[in-house]
């Protein structure tokens, strides 16, 4: 017992011919290119595509604006950080100059005191 339904060659040919006829009927009943319903669907698709493109362009524009805003913020933060570093460097340099001037002044004061003592000692010896 091979198969309960033994399809012969003629049965297979008949089934293939029926399938071809169904396909031909399907294509014959398909809407034509000048069909108003098909034209309406095409117009709707085009409108949807245009709307989708407009939304994509708006999203891209918003992304670009956000990127530009972030770049501007980063530039402002960088400039502020550089200004702060410059101010700190200037303050350090000023503090160093003040310290050096105090050291020089102290040295001059010590030298003056030493010279005064030397002159007093010499005056006592005479």
Instruction: Note every long-range contact of 115-122, with CB atoms under 8 Å and residues 24 or more positions apart, other chains counting.
Output: none
pLDDT digits 0-9 by tens, 89-99: 999 999 999 99
Confirm if 38 and 32 have CB atoms less than 8 A apart: yes
Please tell me whether residue 48 adopts helix, strand or coil conformation. helix
Query: Which candidate, 62, 86, 66, places its Cα nearest to that of 74?
Result: 66
Describe the chain by its helix, strand, coil percentages, rounded to 5. Answer: 90, 0, 10
Q: Which residue has the higher pLDDT, 84 or 25?
A: 84
CA-angle at 17, arms to 15 and 23, nearest 5°: 105
With 80 as the cut, is the pLDDT of residue 24 above it? yes
Q: How far apart are CA 50 and CA 44, in angstroms?
A: 10
pLDDT category, 1, cuts 50, 70, 90?
very low
Reported pTM = 0.47
| Predicted local confidence at residue 7, as pLDDT | 73
Q: Which residue has the higher pLDDT, 6 or 22?
A: 22
Give the phi and the psi of residue 34 in degrees, each rounded to 5. Answer: -95, 15
With 80 as the cut, is the pLDDT of residue 6 above it? no
% of the chain surpassing 70 pLDDT: 94
Q: How far apart are the first and last CA of the chain?
A: 152
């Amino acid at each position: 017992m091979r198969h309960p339904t033994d399809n012969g060659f003629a049965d297979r040919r008949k089934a293939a011919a029926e399938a071809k006829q169904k396909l031909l009927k399907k294509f014959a009943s398909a809407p034509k290119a000048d069909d108003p319903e098909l034209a309406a669907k095409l117009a709707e698709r085009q409108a949807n595509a245009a709307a989708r493109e407009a939304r994509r362009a708006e999203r891209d524009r918003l992304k670009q604006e956000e990127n530009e805003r972030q770049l501007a913020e980063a530039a402002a933060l960088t400039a502020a950080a550089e200004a702060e570093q410059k101010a700190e460097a200037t303050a350090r340099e000023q503090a160093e100059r003040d310290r050096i001037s105090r050291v020089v002044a102290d040295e001059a004061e010590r030298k003056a005191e030493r010279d005064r003592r030397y002159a007093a000692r010499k005056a006592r010896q005479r």
